[in-house]
Structure 1
Protein backbone atom coordinates (compact mmCIF):
# COMPACT_ATOMS: atom_id res chain seq x y z
CA UNK A 1 0.00 0.00 0.00
CA UNK A 2 1.35 3.42 -0.98
CA UNK A 3 2.36 5.73 1.89
CA UNK A 4 -0.49 8.20 1.31
CA UNK A 5 -3.10 5.81 -0.07
CA UNK A 6 -6.59 7.02 0.85
CA UNK A 7 -5.40 10.51 1.84
CA UNK A 8 -6.56 13.81 0.36
CA UNK A 9 -4.06 16.64 0.47
CA UNK A 10 -4.41 20.34 -0.33
CA UNK A 11 -1.18 21.83 -1.69
CA UNK A 12 -1.01 25.62 -2.01
CA UNK A 13 1.40 27.24 -4.42
CA UNK A 14 1.22 23.93 -6.25
CA UNK A 15 1.86 25.28 -9.73
CA UNK A 16 5.58 25.89 -9.31
CA UNK A 17 8.63 25.12 -7.22
CA UNK A 18 8.21 23.34 -3.90
CA UNK A 19 4.43 23.25 -4.15
CA UNK A 20 4.56 21.57 -7.54
CA UNK A 21 7.06 19.00 -6.29
CA UNK A 22 4.85 18.29 -3.25
CA UNK A 23 1.71 17.87 -5.33
CA UNK A 24 3.36 15.47 -7.78
CA UNK A 25 5.01 13.39 -5.06
CA UNK A 26 1.86 13.22 -2.92
CA UNK A 27 -0.06 11.91 -5.93
CA UNK A 28 2.71 9.43 -6.72
CA UNK A 29 2.41 8.10 -3.16
CA UNK A 30 -1.32 7.52 -3.56
CA UNK A 31 -2.96 10.75 -2.36
CA UNK A 32 -5.77 12.64 -4.03
CA UNK A 33 -4.55 16.20 -4.50
CA UNK A 34 -6.18 19.59 -4.68
CA UNK A 35 -3.59 21.75 -6.44
CA UNK A 36 -3.96 25.43 -5.57
CA UNK A 37 -2.01 28.18 -7.28
CA UNK A 38 -2.96 31.80 -7.76
CA UNK A 39 -1.07 31.94 -11.05
CA UNK A 40 0.60 35.21 -10.12
CA UNK A 41 4.13 36.54 -10.24
CA UNK A 42 6.60 36.55 -7.37
CA UNK A 43 5.28 39.88 -6.10
CA UNK A 44 1.70 38.62 -6.09
CA UNK A 45 0.72 40.36 -9.32
CA UNK A 46 -0.87 38.98 -12.51
CA UNK A 47 -3.27 37.04 -10.32
CA UNK A 48 -6.06 34.67 -11.14
CA UNK A 49 -4.58 32.55 -13.93
CA UNK A 50 -5.88 29.01 -13.57
CA UNK A 51 -3.26 27.47 -15.86
CA UNK A 52 -0.42 26.65 -13.40
CA UNK A 53 -2.64 24.73 -10.97
CA UNK A 54 -4.63 23.05 -13.71
CA UNK A 55 -1.45 22.10 -15.56
CA UNK A 56 -0.16 20.19 -12.54
CA UNK A 57 -3.57 18.62 -11.89
CA UNK A 58 -3.59 17.51 -15.53
CA UNK A 59 -0.12 16.04 -15.14
CA UNK A 60 -1.24 14.05 -12.10
CA UNK A 61 -4.30 12.75 -13.93
CA UNK A 62 -2.17 11.82 -16.93
CA UNK A 63 -0.08 9.66 -14.61
CA UNK A 64 -3.16 7.87 -13.35
CA UNK A 65 -3.72 9.91 -10.20
CA UNK A 66 -6.69 11.92 -8.99
CA UNK A 67 -6.40 15.70 -8.80
CA UNK A 68 -8.39 18.88 -9.13
CA UNK A 69 -7.27 22.51 -9.27
CA UNK A 70 -8.03 25.84 -7.65
CA UNK A 71 -6.68 29.30 -8.52
CA UNK A 72 -7.76 31.37 -5.52
CA UNK A 73 -5.52 33.29 -3.08
CA UNK A 74 -4.45 31.92 0.31
CA UNK A 75 -4.54 35.52 1.57
CA UNK A 76 -8.36 35.50 1.57
CA UNK A 77 -10.02 33.39 4.24
CA UNK A 78 -13.22 32.91 2.23
CA UNK A 79 -11.16 31.56 -0.67
CA UNK A 80 -9.28 29.10 1.54
CA UNK A 81 -12.49 27.97 3.21
CA UNK A 82 -13.82 27.27 -0.27
CA UNK A 83 -10.69 25.24 -1.07
CA UNK A 84 -11.29 23.04 1.97
CA UNK A 85 -14.93 22.59 1.01
CA UNK A 86 -13.89 21.81 -2.57
CA UNK A 87 -11.53 19.07 -1.39
CA UNK A 88 -14.20 17.54 0.84
CA UNK A 89 -16.96 17.77 -1.77
CA UNK A 90 -15.02 16.71 -4.86
CA UNK A 91 -12.31 14.45 -3.46
CA UNK A 92 -14.15 12.98 -0.50
CA UNK A 93 -12.27 14.51 2.40
CA UNK A 94 -9.19 16.35 3.60
CA UNK A 95 -6.33 14.84 5.61
CA UNK A 96 -3.46 17.31 5.28
CA UNK A 97 -2.50 20.75 4.03
CA UNK A 98 0.94 21.58 2.64
CA UNK A 99 1.31 25.37 2.41
CA UNK A 100 4.42 26.65 0.59
CA UNK A 101 2.54 29.42 -1.27
CA UNK A 102 4.44 32.68 -1.06
CA UNK A 103 5.63 35.94 -2.59
CA UNK A 104 8.67 38.17 -2.15
CA UNK A 105 8.90 41.95 -2.00
CA UNK A 106 12.45 42.47 -0.79
CA UNK A 107 13.95 45.80 0.21
CA UNK A 108 15.86 47.44 3.03
CA UNK A 109 13.49 48.20 5.88
CA UNK A 110 14.09 51.97 5.88
CA UNK A 111 12.98 52.04 2.24
CA UNK A 112 10.15 49.51 2.47
CA UNK A 113 6.71 50.72 1.32
CA UNK A 114 3.86 49.89 3.67
CA UNK A 115 2.18 48.02 0.82
CA UNK A 116 5.14 45.62 0.53
CA UNK A 117 5.00 44.89 4.24
CA UNK A 118 1.27 44.25 4.15
CA UNK A 119 1.35 42.10 1.01
CA UNK A 120 4.04 39.73 2.28
CA UNK A 121 2.43 39.30 5.70
CA UNK A 122 -0.98 38.75 4.09
CA UNK A 123 0.27 35.89 1.93
CA UNK A 124 2.71 34.22 4.33
CA UNK A 125 1.36 34.79 7.84
CA UNK A 126 -2.33 35.45 7.22
CA UNK A 127 -2.20 32.75 4.55
CA UNK A 128 -0.88 30.26 7.10
CA UNK A 129 -3.63 31.31 9.51
CA UNK A 130 -6.22 30.93 6.77
CA UNK A 131 -5.26 27.39 5.74
CA UNK A 132 -5.04 26.30 9.37
CA UNK A 133 -8.27 27.96 10.50
CA UNK A 134 -10.21 26.74 7.48
CA UNK A 135 -9.15 23.11 8.00
CA UNK A 136 -8.70 22.72 11.76
CA UNK A 137 -12.36 22.14 12.66
CA UNK A 138 -12.55 19.35 10.09
CA UNK A 139 -9.34 17.80 11.42
CA UNK A 140 -10.47 18.03 15.05
CA UNK A 141 -13.85 16.49 14.25
CA UNK A 142 -12.27 13.43 12.67
CA UNK A 143 -9.40 13.43 15.19
CA UNK A 144 -6.72 13.35 12.53
CA UNK A 145 -4.94 15.91 10.37
CA UNK A 146 -1.56 17.31 9.45
CA UNK A 147 -0.51 20.87 8.68
CA UNK A 148 2.84 21.35 6.96
CA UNK A 149 3.66 25.07 7.04
CA UNK A 150 6.77 26.83 5.79
CA UNK A 151 9.20 29.12 7.56
CA UNK A 152 12.58 30.42 6.40
CA UNK A 153 16.12 30.87 7.65
CA UNK A 154 15.51 34.53 6.79
CA UNK A 155 13.44 34.60 9.97
CA UNK A 156 15.18 31.91 12.02
CA UNK A 157 18.65 33.38 11.41
CA UNK A 158 18.26 36.53 9.30
CA UNK A 159 18.95 38.01 5.87
CA UNK A 160 19.33 41.63 4.85
CA UNK A 161 16.48 43.17 2.89
CA UNK A 162 13.82 40.72 4.05
CA UNK A 163 12.28 42.25 7.17
CA UNK A 164 8.73 41.66 5.92
CA UNK A 165 9.43 38.07 4.88
CA UNK A 166 11.37 37.30 8.08
CA UNK A 167 8.64 38.72 10.33
CA UNK A 168 5.97 36.70 8.54
CA UNK A 169 7.99 33.49 8.63
CA UNK A 170 8.75 33.77 12.34
CA UNK A 171 5.05 34.36 12.92
CA UNK A 172 4.37 31.07 11.14
CA UNK A 173 6.73 29.31 13.59
CA UNK A 174 4.78 30.62 16.57
CA UNK A 175 1.46 29.77 14.96
CA UNK A 176 2.55 26.22 14.20
CA UNK A 177 3.78 25.66 17.75
CA UNK A 178 0.42 26.63 19.25
CA UNK A 179 -1.51 24.62 16.65
CA UNK A 180 0.54 21.57 17.62
CA UNK A 181 -0.03 22.12 21.34
CA UNK A 182 -3.76 22.76 21.02
CA UNK A 183 -4.28 19.94 18.53
CA UNK A 184 -2.40 17.20 20.37
CA UNK A 185 -5.43 15.62 22.05
CA UNK A 186 -7.29 15.43 18.72
CA UNK A 187 -4.27 14.10 16.79
CA UNK A 188 -3.99 17.32 14.79
CA UNK A 189 -0.33 17.90 13.97
CA UNK A 190 1.55 20.96 12.76
CA UNK A 191 5.18 21.27 11.71
CA UNK A 192 7.22 23.83 9.79
CA UNK A 193 9.96 23.44 7.21
CA UNK A 194 12.65 25.99 6.36
CA UNK A 195 13.53 25.03 2.79
CA UNK A 196 16.66 25.57 0.75
CA UNK A 197 15.62 25.01 -2.85
CA UNK A 198 16.02 26.53 -6.30
CA UNK A 199 12.68 28.17 -6.99
CA UNK A 200 11.39 31.31 -8.71
CA UNK A 201 11.78 33.10 -5.37
CA UNK A 202 15.46 32.20 -5.05
CA UNK A 203 16.11 32.94 -8.71
CA UNK A 204 14.82 36.48 -8.17
CA UNK A 205 17.61 37.36 -5.70
CA UNK A 206 20.05 39.79 -7.41
CA UNK A 207 23.52 38.43 -8.26
CA UNK A 208 26.04 41.22 -7.72
CA UNK A 209 29.43 39.54 -8.13
CA UNK A 210 31.16 36.38 -9.32
CA UNK A 211 31.20 34.81 -5.87
CA UNK A 212 27.44 35.30 -5.60
CA UNK A 213 26.95 33.85 -9.08
CA UNK A 214 28.90 30.73 -8.17
CA UNK A 215 26.96 30.29 -4.94
CA UNK A 216 23.63 30.67 -6.75
CA UNK A 217 24.69 28.06 -9.32
CA UNK A 218 25.56 25.61 -6.53
CA UNK A 219 22.13 26.23 -5.06
CA UNK A 220 20.46 25.58 -8.40
CA UNK A 221 22.22 22.27 -8.87
CA UNK A 222 22.38 21.02 -5.29
CA UNK A 223 19.16 22.18 -3.62
CA UNK A 224 16.07 21.13 -5.55
CA UNK A 225 12.35 21.43 -4.70
CA UNK A 226 11.97 17.67 -4.96
CA UNK A 227 14.27 17.23 -1.96
CA UNK A 228 12.06 19.46 0.20
CA UNK A 229 8.95 17.64 -1.00
CA UNK A 230 10.22 14.33 0.40
CA UNK A 231 9.95 15.62 3.97
CA UNK A 232 6.79 17.66 3.42
CA UNK A 233 4.73 14.73 2.16
CA UNK A 234 6.20 12.37 4.77
CA UNK A 235 4.87 14.64 7.52
CA UNK A 236 1.37 14.03 6.11
CA UNK A 237 1.60 10.25 6.60
CA UNK A 238 0.05 8.33 9.48
CA UNK A 239 3.49 6.85 10.14
CA UNK A 240 4.62 10.35 11.23
CA UNK A 241 1.77 10.72 13.75
CA UNK A 242 4.14 11.35 16.65
CA UNK A 243 5.91 14.29 14.95
CA UNK A 244 4.39 17.66 15.77
CA UNK A 245 5.47 21.14 16.82
CA UNK A 246 8.90 20.81 15.20
CA UNK A 247 11.03 23.09 13.01
CA UNK A 248 12.82 21.29 10.22
CA UNK A 249 15.24 22.49 7.57
CA UNK A 250 15.93 20.78 4.26
CA UNK A 251 19.15 21.69 2.45
CA UNK A 252 20.00 19.43 -0.45
CA UNK A 253 20.18 15.91 0.94
CA UNK A 254 20.34 17.13 4.55
CA UNK A 255 17.36 17.21 6.91
CA UNK A 256 18.05 19.29 9.99
CA UNK A 257 16.07 19.78 13.17
CA UNK A 258 16.24 23.35 14.47
CA UNK A 259 16.35 24.28 18.13
CA UNK A 260 13.54 26.37 19.57
CA UNK A 261 14.07 29.39 21.83
CA UNK A 262 14.95 28.52 25.40
CA UNK A 263 16.97 30.52 27.97
CA UNK A 264 20.72 30.32 27.37
CA UNK A 265 21.94 32.53 30.23
CA UNK A 266 20.49 33.82 33.48
CA UNK A 267 21.69 36.38 36.01
CA UNK A 268 20.01 37.37 39.27
CA UNK A 269 20.52 40.11 41.85
CA UNK A 270 18.62 39.61 45.07
CA UNK A 271 18.28 43.33 45.77
CA UNK A 272 16.91 43.95 42.29
CA UNK A 273 18.32 45.61 39.20
CA UNK A 274 18.87 49.23 38.29
CA UNK A 275 19.96 50.59 34.90
CA UNK A 276 23.44 51.08 36.36
CA UNK A 277 23.81 47.51 37.64
CA UNK A 278 22.33 46.10 34.44
CA UNK A 279 25.01 47.96 32.47
CA UNK A 280 27.78 47.10 34.89
CA UNK A 281 26.89 43.48 35.66
CA UNK A 282 24.00 41.85 33.79
CA UNK A 283 24.80 42.73 30.18
CA UNK A 284 28.56 42.02 30.48
CA UNK A 285 27.77 38.65 32.10
CA UNK A 286 25.46 37.76 29.22
CA UNK A 287 27.47 39.20 26.35
CA UNK A 288 29.39 35.99 25.72
CA UNK A 289 26.10 34.29 24.90
CA UNK A 290 24.73 37.02 22.60
CA UNK A 291 23.73 35.92 19.10
CA UNK A 292 25.67 37.76 16.42
CA UNK A 293 24.18 39.67 13.49
CA UNK A 294 25.58 37.44 10.74
CA UNK A 295 23.14 36.31 7.99
CA UNK A 296 22.07 32.74 7.31
CA UNK A 297 24.88 32.17 4.79
CA UNK A 298 27.39 32.22 7.66
CA UNK A 299 25.56 29.38 9.40
CA UNK A 300 25.54 27.33 6.19
CA UNK A 301 28.87 28.27 4.55
CA UNK A 302 29.42 24.89 2.92
CA UNK A 303 28.13 23.46 -0.33
CA UNK A 304 24.94 21.39 -0.09
CA UNK A 305 25.46 17.71 0.48
Structure 2
Protein backbone atom coordinates (compact mmCIF):
# COMPACT_ATOMS: atom_id res chain seq x y z
CA UNK A 1 0.00 0.00 0.00
CA UNK A 2 1.17 3.61 -0.51
CA UNK A 3 3.01 5.42 2.27
CA UNK A 4 0.29 7.54 3.90
CA UNK A 5 0.24 9.76 6.96
CA UNK A 6 -2.05 7.32 8.75
CA UNK A 7 0.80 4.80 8.80
CA UNK A 8 3.09 7.11 10.75
CA UNK A 9 2.45 5.73 14.29
CA UNK A 10 3.11 2.13 13.24
CA UNK A 11 6.14 2.82 11.04
CA UNK A 12 7.68 5.32 13.45
CA UNK A 13 7.40 2.82 16.31
CA UNK A 14 9.21 0.16 14.26
CA UNK A 15 11.93 2.60 13.17
CA UNK A 16 12.39 3.83 16.74
CA UNK A 17 13.31 0.27 17.69
CA UNK A 18 15.86 0.14 14.86
CA UNK A 19 17.34 3.48 15.95
CA UNK A 20 17.55 2.58 19.63
CA UNK A 21 21.08 2.53 20.98
CA UNK A 22 22.69 3.40 17.65
CA UNK A 23 23.86 6.86 18.82
CA UNK A 24 25.74 8.72 16.07
CA UNK A 25 25.77 5.57 13.89
CA UNK A 26 22.02 5.92 13.29
CA UNK A 27 21.14 5.93 9.60
CA UNK A 28 19.28 8.97 8.33
CA UNK A 29 16.76 6.70 6.56
CA UNK A 30 15.29 5.43 9.82
CA UNK A 31 12.48 7.97 10.15
CA UNK A 32 8.92 8.03 8.82
CA UNK A 33 9.40 11.59 7.60
CA UNK A 34 12.16 10.46 5.23
CA UNK A 35 9.97 7.69 3.82
CA UNK A 36 6.92 9.90 3.42
CA UNK A 37 8.62 12.95 1.94
CA UNK A 38 10.49 10.91 -0.67
CA UNK A 39 7.81 8.31 -1.31
CA UNK A 40 7.40 9.31 -4.94
CA UNK A 41 11.13 9.52 -5.70
CA UNK A 42 11.64 5.95 -4.45
CA UNK A 43 8.22 4.44 -5.24
CA UNK A 44 7.92 3.47 -1.58
CA UNK A 45 5.17 1.03 -0.58
CA UNK A 46 4.32 -0.39 2.83
CA UNK A 47 4.36 -4.18 2.92
CA UNK A 48 2.30 -5.50 5.82
CA UNK A 49 2.57 -8.87 7.49
CA UNK A 50 4.41 -10.71 10.23
CA UNK A 51 7.69 -9.24 8.92
CA UNK A 52 6.69 -5.81 7.58
CA UNK A 53 8.80 -3.42 5.61
CA UNK A 54 9.06 -0.82 2.88
CA UNK A 55 9.51 -1.82 -0.76
CA UNK A 56 11.08 0.73 -3.07
CA UNK A 57 13.96 1.68 -5.29
CA UNK A 58 17.28 3.23 -4.30
CA UNK A 59 18.55 6.35 -6.06
CA UNK A 60 20.37 4.14 -8.57
CA UNK A 61 17.10 2.38 -9.42
CA UNK A 62 17.89 -0.89 -7.62
CA UNK A 63 14.79 -2.51 -6.05
CA UNK A 64 14.97 -3.31 -2.36
CA UNK A 65 13.07 -4.12 0.82
CA UNK A 66 13.68 -2.04 3.96
CA UNK A 67 12.94 -4.26 6.99
CA UNK A 68 10.88 -2.67 9.75
CA UNK A 69 12.41 -5.20 12.12
CA UNK A 70 15.89 -6.21 13.18
CA UNK A 71 17.03 -8.67 10.48
CA UNK A 72 18.66 -11.12 12.90
CA UNK A 73 15.29 -11.58 14.62
CA UNK A 74 13.71 -13.05 11.49
CA UNK A 75 14.12 -16.67 10.38
CA UNK A 76 16.67 -17.12 7.61
CA UNK A 77 14.04 -18.47 5.24
CA UNK A 78 11.95 -15.31 5.75
CA UNK A 79 14.91 -13.08 4.90
CA UNK A 80 15.71 -15.24 1.89
CA UNK A 81 12.13 -15.01 0.62
CA UNK A 82 12.12 -11.23 1.02
CA UNK A 83 15.35 -10.95 -0.95
CA UNK A 84 13.97 -13.24 -3.65
CA UNK A 85 10.83 -11.09 -3.89
CA UNK A 86 12.34 -7.61 -3.66
CA UNK A 87 15.98 -7.90 -4.76
CA UNK A 88 17.84 -7.07 -1.54
CA UNK A 89 17.47 -5.86 2.01
CA UNK A 90 18.39 -2.16 2.16
CA UNK A 91 19.35 -0.01 3.96
CA UNK A 92 20.78 -2.22 6.69
CA UNK A 93 22.93 -0.69 9.42
CA UNK A 94 26.45 -2.03 9.90
CA UNK A 95 25.68 -3.55 13.29
CA UNK A 96 22.74 -5.49 11.84
CA UNK A 97 24.51 -6.59 8.66
CA UNK A 98 27.36 -7.99 10.76
CA UNK A 99 24.95 -10.30 12.61
CA UNK A 100 23.80 -12.15 9.49
CA UNK A 101 25.54 -15.43 8.59
CA UNK A 102 28.07 -14.87 5.82
CA UNK A 103 27.58 -18.38 4.48
CA UNK A 104 24.03 -17.41 3.47
CA UNK A 105 24.10 -13.68 2.78
CA UNK A 106 26.50 -11.18 1.26
CA UNK A 107 26.50 -7.50 2.20
CA UNK A 108 27.80 -4.72 -0.05
CA UNK A 109 27.81 -0.93 0.30
CA UNK A 110 28.15 1.92 -2.19
CA UNK A 111 29.82 5.21 -1.21
CA UNK A 112 26.97 6.97 -3.02
CA UNK A 113 24.58 5.79 -0.30
CA UNK A 114 26.71 6.57 2.77
CA UNK A 115 25.62 9.21 5.28
CA UNK A 116 28.08 12.01 6.03
CA UNK A 117 28.66 12.30 9.78
CA UNK A 118 30.23 15.33 11.47
CA UNK A 119 31.32 16.09 15.01
CA UNK A 120 29.63 19.26 16.25
CA UNK A 121 33.04 20.84 16.95
CA UNK A 122 33.58 20.96 13.19
CA UNK A 123 31.01 23.73 12.92
CA UNK A 124 31.41 25.55 16.22
CA UNK A 125 34.64 27.31 15.22
CA UNK A 126 35.66 25.80 11.85
CA UNK A 127 39.07 25.36 13.43
CA UNK A 128 42.15 24.19 11.56
CA UNK A 129 43.56 24.61 8.07
CA UNK A 130 41.16 22.23 6.26
CA UNK A 131 38.20 24.38 7.38
CA UNK A 132 39.87 27.77 6.88
CA UNK A 133 37.70 28.53 3.85
CA UNK A 134 34.51 27.96 5.85
CA UNK A 135 35.84 30.10 8.68
CA UNK A 136 36.62 32.93 6.27
CA UNK A 137 33.22 32.65 4.58
CA UNK A 138 31.49 33.13 7.92
CA UNK A 139 33.66 36.16 8.67
CA UNK A 140 32.89 37.67 5.27
CA UNK A 141 29.19 36.98 5.70
CA UNK A 142 29.08 38.71 9.09
CA UNK A 143 31.16 41.61 7.81
CA UNK A 144 28.70 42.20 4.95
CA UNK A 145 25.43 41.56 6.79
CA UNK A 146 23.75 41.90 10.15
CA UNK A 147 21.64 38.75 10.20
CA UNK A 148 18.86 37.91 12.61
CA UNK A 149 17.35 34.53 13.28
CA UNK A 150 14.09 33.06 14.52
CA UNK A 151 13.25 29.47 15.45
CA UNK A 152 11.14 27.85 12.76
CA UNK A 153 7.41 27.71 13.42
CA UNK A 154 4.17 27.82 11.40
CA UNK A 155 4.26 31.61 11.40
CA UNK A 156 7.50 31.45 9.38
CA UNK A 157 6.26 28.99 6.78
CA UNK A 158 5.80 31.70 4.15
CA UNK A 159 9.28 33.11 4.79
CA UNK A 160 10.72 29.61 4.41
CA UNK A 161 8.85 29.04 1.15
CA UNK A 162 10.20 32.37 -0.08
CA UNK A 163 13.77 31.19 0.49
CA UNK A 164 13.02 27.93 -1.32
CA UNK A 165 11.61 29.79 -4.30
CA UNK A 166 14.61 32.12 -4.36
CA UNK A 167 16.95 29.12 -4.27
CA UNK A 168 15.18 27.49 -7.22
CA UNK A 169 15.16 30.71 -9.22
CA UNK A 170 18.88 31.27 -8.70
CA UNK A 171 19.70 27.67 -9.61
CA UNK A 172 17.58 27.90 -12.74
CA UNK A 173 15.61 24.81 -11.81
CA UNK A 174 12.01 24.07 -12.67
CA UNK A 175 9.55 22.57 -10.22
CA UNK A 176 10.23 18.88 -9.72
CA UNK A 177 13.89 19.00 -10.73
CA UNK A 178 15.15 18.86 -7.14
CA UNK A 179 13.60 18.29 -3.72
CA UNK A 180 11.06 21.14 -3.83
CA UNK A 181 7.97 18.95 -3.36
CA UNK A 182 9.51 17.15 -0.39
CA UNK A 183 10.70 20.44 1.09
CA UNK A 184 7.29 22.08 0.79
CA UNK A 185 5.64 19.08 2.45
CA UNK A 186 8.27 19.20 5.19
CA UNK A 187 7.47 22.86 5.85
CA UNK A 188 3.75 22.08 6.08
CA UNK A 189 4.24 19.02 8.33
CA UNK A 190 7.30 20.10 10.34
CA UNK A 191 5.72 19.67 13.78
CA UNK A 192 4.23 16.31 12.87
CA UNK A 193 7.61 15.04 11.65
CA UNK A 194 9.69 16.50 14.47
CA UNK A 195 11.53 18.91 12.18
CA UNK A 196 13.17 21.83 13.98
CA UNK A 197 15.45 24.63 12.96
CA UNK A 198 15.84 28.28 12.18
CA UNK A 199 14.97 30.87 9.56
CA UNK A 200 17.59 33.55 8.92
CA UNK A 201 16.93 37.13 7.87
CA UNK A 202 18.76 40.24 6.79
CA UNK A 203 16.37 43.00 7.71
CA UNK A 204 12.95 41.74 6.64
CA UNK A 205 14.37 39.54 3.89
CA UNK A 206 14.46 35.79 4.62
CA UNK A 207 17.78 34.50 3.27
CA UNK A 208 18.08 30.93 4.55
CA UNK A 209 16.65 28.15 6.66
CA UNK A 210 17.61 24.84 8.20
CA UNK A 211 15.20 22.06 9.17
CA UNK A 212 16.74 19.20 11.14
CA UNK A 213 15.46 16.04 12.81
CA UNK A 214 16.84 14.48 15.97
CA UNK A 215 17.53 10.80 15.25
CA UNK A 216 19.10 9.99 18.62
CA UNK A 217 19.85 12.25 21.58
CA UNK A 218 22.19 14.93 20.26
CA UNK A 219 22.32 13.42 16.73
CA UNK A 220 20.58 15.50 14.06
CA UNK A 221 19.89 14.76 10.41
CA UNK A 222 20.01 18.00 8.43
CA UNK A 223 16.93 17.30 6.33
CA UNK A 224 16.71 20.61 4.47
CA UNK A 225 19.09 23.57 4.25
CA UNK A 226 18.47 26.27 1.67
CA UNK A 227 20.09 29.67 1.36
CA UNK A 228 20.22 32.51 -1.13
CA UNK A 229 23.51 32.39 -3.03
CA UNK A 230 23.42 36.19 -3.17
CA UNK A 231 24.53 36.05 0.47
CA UNK A 232 27.92 34.33 0.28
CA UNK A 233 28.71 32.30 3.38
CA UNK A 234 25.09 31.68 4.36
CA UNK A 235 25.51 27.90 4.56
CA UNK A 236 28.53 27.66 6.88
CA UNK A 237 26.96 30.42 8.95
CA UNK A 238 23.63 28.57 9.29
CA UNK A 239 25.31 25.30 10.29
CA UNK A 240 27.47 27.10 12.83
CA UNK A 241 24.48 28.94 14.25
CA UNK A 242 22.51 25.69 14.58
CA UNK A 243 25.32 24.02 16.52
CA UNK A 244 25.85 27.02 18.76
CA UNK A 245 22.24 28.07 19.34
CA UNK A 246 19.94 25.04 19.21
CA UNK A 247 18.15 24.82 22.57
CA UNK A 248 19.18 21.20 23.21
CA UNK A 249 22.63 19.67 23.15
CA UNK A 250 24.02 18.94 19.68
CA UNK A 251 26.81 16.37 19.39
CA UNK A 252 26.65 15.16 15.79
CA UNK A 253 25.24 16.29 12.44
CA UNK A 254 24.26 13.86 9.70
CA UNK A 255 24.19 15.42 6.21
CA UNK A 256 22.72 12.28 4.62
CA UNK A 257 24.04 10.78 1.36
CA UNK A 258 25.44 12.48 -1.73
CA UNK A 259 23.67 10.13 -4.20
CA UNK A 260 26.84 10.03 -6.29
CA UNK A 261 26.27 13.62 -7.45
CA UNK A 262 29.63 15.40 -7.84
CA UNK A 263 28.34 18.76 -6.56
CA UNK A 264 26.83 17.24 -3.44
CA UNK A 265 29.96 15.18 -2.86
CA UNK A 266 32.29 18.19 -3.07
CA UNK A 267 30.07 20.25 -0.80
CA UNK A 268 29.66 17.59 1.88
CA UNK A 269 33.33 16.64 1.85
CA UNK A 270 34.37 20.29 2.14
CA UNK A 271 33.07 20.24 5.73
CA UNK A 272 35.52 17.46 6.62
CA UNK A 273 33.25 14.60 7.77
CA UNK A 274 34.34 12.55 10.76
CA UNK A 275 33.00 9.39 9.12
CA UNK A 276 30.88 7.99 6.32
CA UNK A 277 28.16 5.65 7.55
CA UNK A 278 27.69 2.76 5.10
CA UNK A 279 24.22 1.53 4.23
CA UNK A 280 24.47 -2.15 3.47
CA UNK A 281 22.61 -4.04 0.77
CA UNK A 282 22.08 -7.65 1.77
CA UNK A 283 21.65 -10.27 -0.96
CA UNK A 284 21.79 -14.06 -1.09
CA UNK A 285 25.32 -15.42 -1.39
CA UNK A 286 24.46 -17.96 -4.05
CA UNK A 287 22.85 -15.27 -6.20
CA UNK A 288 25.92 -13.07 -5.87
CA UNK A 289 28.16 -15.97 -6.90
CA UNK A 290 25.98 -16.74 -9.93
CA UNK A 291 26.15 -13.13 -11.08
CA UNK A 292 29.95 -13.12 -11.12
CA UNK A 293 31.54 -13.84 -14.53
CA UNK A 294 33.26 -17.17 -14.96
CA UNK A 295 37.09 -17.01 -14.78
Per the normalisation by structure 1, the TM-score is: 0.26
Which is richer in strand? 2
Per the normalisation by structure 2, the TM-score is: 0.27
Which is richer in helix? 1
Which structure is richer in relative contact order (CA contacts within 8 A, separation 6 or more)?
2
